[in-house]
Amino acid sequence: MLKVLVSDPLGEAGVRLFRDTAGIDVEIKTGLSPQELEETITDYDALVIRSTTRVTAEILDAAKKLKVIGRAGIGLDNVDIPVATRRGVVVMNTPTGNVVTTAEHAIAMMMALTRNIPQGTLSLKAGRWDKKKLQGREVFDKTLGVIGFGKIGSIVADRAKGLRMQVVVYDPFVAPEQIQKAGFESVRLDELYQRADYISVHVPMLKETTGLLNKAAFEKMKDGVMIINCARGGIINEDDLQEAVKSGKVAGAALDVFETEPPGECSLFEMDRIICTPHLGASTQEAQTNVAVAVAQQIIDYLINDTIINAVNVPSVAGELLKKIGPYMAVGDRMGCLQAQLADGPVKGVTIEYTGDFRGMDMAPVSTAILKGLLTPMVKYAVNFVNAPVVAKEMGIKVIESTTSEAEDYTHLITLRVSTDAGENVVAGTIIGRSDIKVVKINNFRLELVPEGHILLIFNQDRPGAIGGIGTTLGRHNINIGRMHVGQEKDGERNIIFLQTDTPVPPDVIEDLRSAELVNSVTPLEL
């Protein structure tokens, strides 16, 4: 019997699906402490979680038989995916099961905030009749600013349009034409801040979105703006939000997510103009059934049929083919991730060129891996090895592939061209030996880069002392350089330097490097 452990509450339909499947033995053990889970997990082949269970490296080390982790929902911040990948554990999610539910909750929160519904309920139950005190306002003809135009953000925009609101959208990863095609106005973030009466956040938790709505952002907003966050805690700086509400700059906020969950004692809860729910965005009967059935079916398909669906760390490729093209998928994924961080603005087009002896290889999974690498920094867990081409199409990205057998410098070369309104970046990669992945070209620069870890991309003048000065600056801040790759601009006067460091380089050190006389630019990358 294959054993499945459900460590977070799961809809009965999903549990029933496990129990009705021959060869599957499911056990429900919710509320386990980390130590209890570590002691329990040793005998199980599959683990089903939601947002509560944290699957750490210690848990994975103890899970000797574990083959698959299934998340009933989309977010996977509670799973150590790199460790799971190294241990050969497939990590799956259910990215579409609760999008409508979460979008509807954001609209409900906006309406409750606008019409003082929670405050009215409390005052009436306390024996008061605060009719004048709790006067609200209409949403009709007000402007809603939607930050993030993914599956949830686009539904929120559509529902707001039905309420006859004016909707403006900011998403740096979606082409403005795609937003306009959907019937909405694409604007810069600062313009959204200036125009919006309401702002609803629908972006994943990334390094770039942490603290996105902070003091500086609130200062740019209209007086009396209302804020809704049903996305992820930490996107709004809670201390700055509290000060903005106290000052009257923000008229109110509706929060379903928090920096720490559960938040415990929180000063935000003491403010009448902030209404809250305990992460209920996906908590409807329909959504719970959808994600429960989806995660159960995916895990059953993998355990019984070896079929992978909605995996974020393993491609859906047969074993023999994976042996051949696995290294190319790895280099493609890293090339895509690099291109995402080089892109200046929304991606409009992607061209993938395969040059050399790729005869007998199905390169479609490699193209999918490239797209997944490109899109993951933009939409995080909403993209996987299955849906990457569909997500790219939904974002208005045109993808072109070509193959030629005329090899030049390398027997097998993959070239990835990514275009934005600002221009085109070119990254080329290959495999050295059997499995060593290398990036060998970035625009006009030739080099051999191992694309992994914390990296600084530095353009500098090709003059004596430039590289030494960079090393001195990092040494002064006790930052160790693991590897250095230097490429020279063809027929130019600049170098491109990739510095791989043992730890991420803090923002103040990056500014110190940028101020050096011979340094043109410094860009931090995470690969």
* Active centre residues (catalytic): 232, 261, 279
For residue 30, give every residue at least 6 positions away whose Cβ sits within 8 Å of its Cβ, in sequence order, or none: 6, 7, 8, 9
Which of 117, 107, 51 lies closest to 79 in space, CA to CA? Answer: 51
CB atoms within 10 A of CB 51: 17
- How far apart are alpha carbons 352 and 347 in whole angstroms? 14
3-state secondary structure of 89: coil
- How far apart are alpha carbons 149 and 238 in whole angstroms? 23
**76 within 8 A of 93, measured Cβ to Cβ:** yes
Cis, bond preceding 262 (omega within 30 deg of 0): yes
Handedness of CA 246, 204, 98, 14 (dihedral sign): negative
- How far apart are alpha carbons 527 and 239 in whole angstroms? 31
Q: Quote the tokens at residue 522.
A: 């410094």
Q: Helices 507-514 and 466-476 sit at what angle, rounded to 10 degrees?
A: 150
- Residue type (1 letter), 85: T
